[in-house]
Structure 1
């Protein structure tokens, strides 16, 4: 966390990542994984390593369309902070590792 204090949630996330990796290694012939680091995500989506969450969110909206409203929901209608982060990881993975295959 770049020298900043962190809470128990960060360490719990590390434990969970380790568990997922262990399970995937056990079933390697059925699944693989690739870590996506925050810096990769910023560069892949915003082309700037200093991008913030708001910049990433806006870049995703520019790429896929508006959030929308309840009456006229867009692609991202109902997304919350964690869902935006997951979408950014998925888009980064797609662009870096799957685009060549299509």
Structure 2
């Protein structure tokens, strides 16, 4: 099953195209990623869902929420978009809710595979920045979908 996963941001978002391994990944301006979502024919779109857990949020959070809605609406089947909370990513990776980003990235490396080198790329070669969070979303969505 091929999954397009997004870690949304206010102006740029991380993305991963995943089918058990990383097919492509990166960070791009939201307007460009919106066009990718419109044209993509993956089996599923998964987006990290923002949850405040009672914390105070700022305007950037609301801007990001607007982008989540725009990405969802651009998908061929908006009602079928999978929204994954960060806590669900941690659980899918076998981590505690208190795990930090470095723990999440380490678990992804252990489960999906190492980065490798330019000469011998591994399953996560080229994943950087916010694409790591998108890969976590893809992995959790894959587990939810029975992968």
TM-score over 0.5 for the alignment?
yes
Match of 2:64 in 1: 13
Task: Please identify, of 47-56 and 12-21, the stretch whose mean Cα deviation from structure 2 is larger.
Answer: 12-21
Instruction: Flag structure 2 segments of 5+ consecutive residues without an equivalent.
Output: 1-51
TM-score when normalising by structure 1: 0.74
Instruction: Flag structure 1 segments of 5+ consecutive residues without an equivalent.
Output: none
Q: Kindly report which structure 2 residues correspond to 1:21-100, keeping only aligned pairs within 5 A, or say none.
A: 21-23=72-74, 28=77, 32-96=80-144, 98-99=145-146
Q: Aligned equivalents of 2:66 and 2:57: distance in 1?
A: 18
Q: 1:3 aligns with which of 44, 51, 55?
A: 55
Q: Aligned equivalents of 2:72 and 2:114: distance in 1?
A: 35
Q: CA deviation at 1:87?
A: 0.7
- Identify the structure with the greater helix proportion: 1
1:36 is paired with a residue whose SS is: strand
- Looking at both structures, which has the greater relative contact order when contacts are Cα pairs under 8 Å and sequence separation is at least 6? 2
TM-score when normalising by structure 2: 0.54
Give the number of the structure whose alpha-carbon radius of gyration is greater. Answer: 1
Q: CA deviation at 1:46?
A: 3.0
Match of 2:6 in 1: none
Q: CA deviation at 1:48?
A: 0.9
Q: Is the 8 A contact 1:66 1:74 kept in 2?
A: yes
2:83 is paired with a residue whose SS is: coil
